[in-house]
Chains A and B, each alone.
Chain A
Amino acid sequence: MMSEQKQHVLKYLAKNIRFDGRKPLDYRDVTVEYGISKSAEGSARVRIGGTEVIAGVKISIEKPYPDTPDKGNLMVNAELRPMASPKFESGPPSDQGIELARVVDRGIRESECIDVHDLVIKEGELVWSVSIDIVAVNDEGNLFDAAGLAALAALLDARMPGKNEFNKADYDKRTDEKLPLKTRPVPITVFKIGATFLVDPLSDEEENFDARLTVACKDDGSLAALQKGGEGSLTIDEIDHMVGIALERSAWLREKLGR
């Protein structure tokens, strides 16, 4: 039995229109604001329509992981804070929050966005460790794309802290040095609801989708990470179609970074 809400969403989509008047492949207005937290080494706020996500980067000096002695550390964490939606609860991260963090993490990690070899201070002993924390402030749909863009913007904004004589980060002596960034992966999530493909869903659409595909797109048009979500199934042609939409929209979204 289909919910009233879903029937309503489908009725609109059949007319090729959405609750806020957009066409299926239209994105809402996107703004990126840098340096929103003076405490972080880099930070940014992304607004997609009413959805707001902030991200902050902290950089410290740590031991490398035993299996990657020649690479700096990267960690991505997402907090679906209960301030952002009546659906989010306090406490340990939900499945949804974990998936969000991991999808953003893979986009940044697998695209080799950060040159992690450049973060080594002394191989096997000391490396720079980059932590990206993404926080949902107001959820009106499409947290995946907003989170991915905010994470990338915060990385672009980041400046390395100083290093003191004890090989610890010196946060009172920030440098002008940026993180070694090579590519700019931008995730686009394409949703399938009924027979319609759409991007940038509203909450009502997100609650009633059949399948979704998040595609982390690199500047050169290649793909860095994929995640299919939802209970619905997809054909190969459908996936190809969704990837095409994602690549086209990602170039547009990347422009919004303004840097």
Chain B
Amino acid sequence: MPYPKRFDGRKSDETRPIVAKVGIIPRADGSAMFQIGKTTAYAAVYGPRTLHPKWMQNPNTGVLRCEYNMLPFSGHGERVRPGGGRRAREIGMVTENALLPVLDLREYPNSVVDVYIDLPQTDAGTRCAGITAAAMALADAGFEMKDMVAAVAVGKVQDHVLADLTYDEEQNKTPEEGVADIPVAFMPLSGKLTLLQMDGEVTREDLKKALTLGKEVCKRIVDIQKAALRAKYAGGSDDE
């Protein structure tokens, strides 16, 4: 089946509509919401606080601990069993790695900074929405950050390199018509990448195209993140 036009009519480099908000969970030390199309991520930051169990403590630095959690009613079809699984564990880990390069936790030995990412509704791109929300929540919590982090899923559907794949686009897999799903995260100032995963099939040339597109889109997302932070702290209303 040819795919000349995207299901929802977007341009190849266009994301779905984005809403970003900071400070949505007052009880947390920092929090944010990032919504892209029908994917919504909440992120809450607690800490630095004493790390338990004790053997996990590091006397040289604080530890970043990220938990990714799809809420039971957030899946496209059947209920998602609570408690997480291998997928959630892995995403938590790559989320930590995506965010650590902008943090310096050496001031907080034996401590942990907990980031909880919960998704009430999903339509692909969940780990990227989670990372993007978590970066805003860390800024909201007052951590000094060397750079921002934004993430987006880029990919390839047939000959098209596309930004922000939806579930329908991701699932459009047939043996001849490879779909590649490539979640990436970038730091806008340094231009360096902090998350890269890929499922599917892609050539070296297309990968480079996809990464270049991802970097471009992440820069645009960073503008939205910053506007959301300004809306809370500078009294601006950029996100409204």
| Chain A contacts to B: CB under 8 angstroms | 36-41, 43, 50, 52, 54, 56-58, 60, 77, 79, 81-86, 90, 92, 131, 133, 135, 137-140, 169, 171
Contacts and interface: CB of A to CB of B under 8 A. Distances in A.
Given A39-B73, A138-B24, A171-B77, 15 more contacts: A37-B71, A37-B120, A40-B121, A41-B73, A52-B25, A56-B120, A77-B72, A81-B118, A83-B28, A83-B44, A84-B27, A85-B27, A90-B67, A137-B24, A171-B76
8 contacts: A39-B122, A41-B73, A54-B71, A79-B82, A86-B46, A133-B73, A139-B27, A169-B78
A137 B25 contact: yes
Contact of B74 (A39, A60, A92, A139): A39
Nearest to A59: B79
B79 A60 contact: yes
Contacts of A58: 72-73, 78-79
Contacts, number: 101
Nearest to B38: A38
Nearest to B43: A83
Nearest to B28: A83
B27 to A, nearest CB: 5
A40 to B, nearest CB: 4
A138 B73 contact: no
A56 B116 contact: no
Given A37-B120, A90-B67, A133-B79, A83 B74 contact: no
Nearest to A36: B120
Contacts of A60: 78-79
Given A81-B116, A86-B49, A133-B82, A39 B25 contact: no
Contacts of A139: 27
B169 interface: no
Given A86-B49, A171-B77, A133 B71 contact: yes
A83 B74 CA distance: 17
B27 A79 contact: no
B178 interface: no
Contacts of A140: 26-27
B74 A37 contact: yes
B89 to A, nearest CB: 11
Contacts of B38: 38-39
Interface string B102-134: 000000000000101010111100000000000
B125 to A, nearest CB: 14
A223 to B, nearest CB: 29
Nearest to A78: B82
A171 B49 CA distance: 42
B65 to A, nearest CB: 9
Contacts of A43: 73, 120
Most buried by B among A60, A81, A169: A81
B121 A50 contact: no
Contacts of B46: 82, 86
Contacts of A82: 44, 46, 67, 114, 116
